[in-house]
Amino acid sequence: MALSEESLVDARDVVDSADSLIEVIDLHRVYGSGILAVHALRGVSFHVGHGELVAIVGPSGSGKTTMMNILGCLDRPTTGQYRLGGRDVSTLSADELADVRNARIGFVFQGFNLLPRNSAVQNVGLPLRYGPPLSSAERHRRSLECLSVVGLAHRASHLPNQLSGGEQQRVAIARALVNNPSLILADEPTGNLDTRRSEEILALFQRLNRLKGMTIALVTHEPDIAACCRRVLHFRDGVLERDEPIVMRSLDTNDGDAFAVRDPAGPTPSRGVECVPCVP
């Protein structure tokens, strides 16, 4: 439920006055040219502050996926500016964008995207292979710590086909955390999950935001998913129609300062240790 104008200042005004992680300024994205040109984004501007939990919503063709691709440095705007952590990434080369993606952005996808012949801990450690050189023992240690954060240290040696859908998505979240990113982008992260496991994943995102101050953007077309965030950016026809703060539907029932993720297959919560590389 949206807050009234009397009870809350517009979210854009709040973020503009704070130190922003994301700055999008008059951004356009056009595919093709001439009469075949498709205007996926039309003059979009917004800021996102450090530690925000934001939903990017809209129907098919609204521009939300294009917006996510640009925020994730998977695409470049045609015109306009995108600044991440104060750095203009709009005109970086492909290699420079790849470096930014690996160092500053963690991705979580609907389809999990786990390598089927790699164990959970090996999947988590994959991004570490593309950064500064680390020993295999150090990669394993960091990966196991992030698996602990999502409550899956006891599944470290399991292959993806030995895990439930919810567990596979938790492995994907651990992989997104392992490089200590500035931003987590989650594209329809519960699209392949049932209601119970969807709520488990959303509660985990809320917990990461609350306890670690992670900046998280969830891309979705489902109002119920967006309701689990504190701010919603509504896209339609390539335009940011509305930017509103909302009262978040909290699914995080763990009021303490440690992570505890309940395994639906068993009665005992798996409690994780602090994930050292994930601390902001």
Q: Is the pLDDT of residue 269 over 80?
A: no
Of 17 and 260, which is predicted with more confidence?
260
Distance CA 116, CA 161 (A): 7
**How many percent of the chain have pLDDT more than 90?**
67
Q: What is the pLDDT of residue 51?
A: 94
pTM value > 0.95: no
Nearest residue to 188 via CA among 148, 218, 163: 218
Nearest residue to 8 via CA among 249, 245, 248, 250: 245
Q: Is the pLDDT of residue 280 over 60?
A: no
**Confidence class of residue 10 from pLDDT cuts 50, 70 and 90?**
very low
Q: What is the pLDDT of residue 17?
A: 37
What value does the mean pLDDT of the chain take?
A: 84
Q: What is the pLDDT of residue 76?
A: 92
For residues 124-143, average pLDDT: 90
Give the CA angle between residues 151, 154, 160 to the nearest 5°.
Answer: 85
Question: Longest Cα pair distance anywhere in the chain, in angstroms?
Answer: 60
Fold type of domain 49-76+104-278: Rossmann fold (3.40.50)
**Confidence class of residue 91 from pLDDT cuts 50, 70 and 90?**
confident
Nearest residue to 205 via CA among 233, 229, 182: 229
CB 219 within 8 A of CB 226: no
Q: Is the pLDDT of residue 207 over 50?
A: yes
pLDDT digits (tens, 9 = 90+) for 18-57: 579 999 999 999 999 888 899 999 999 999 999 999 999 9
pLDDT digits (tens, 9 = 90+) for 211-238: 989 999 999 999 999 999 999 999 999 9
Q: Which residue has the tokens 């709009």?
A: 90
For residues 73-78, average pLDDT: 94
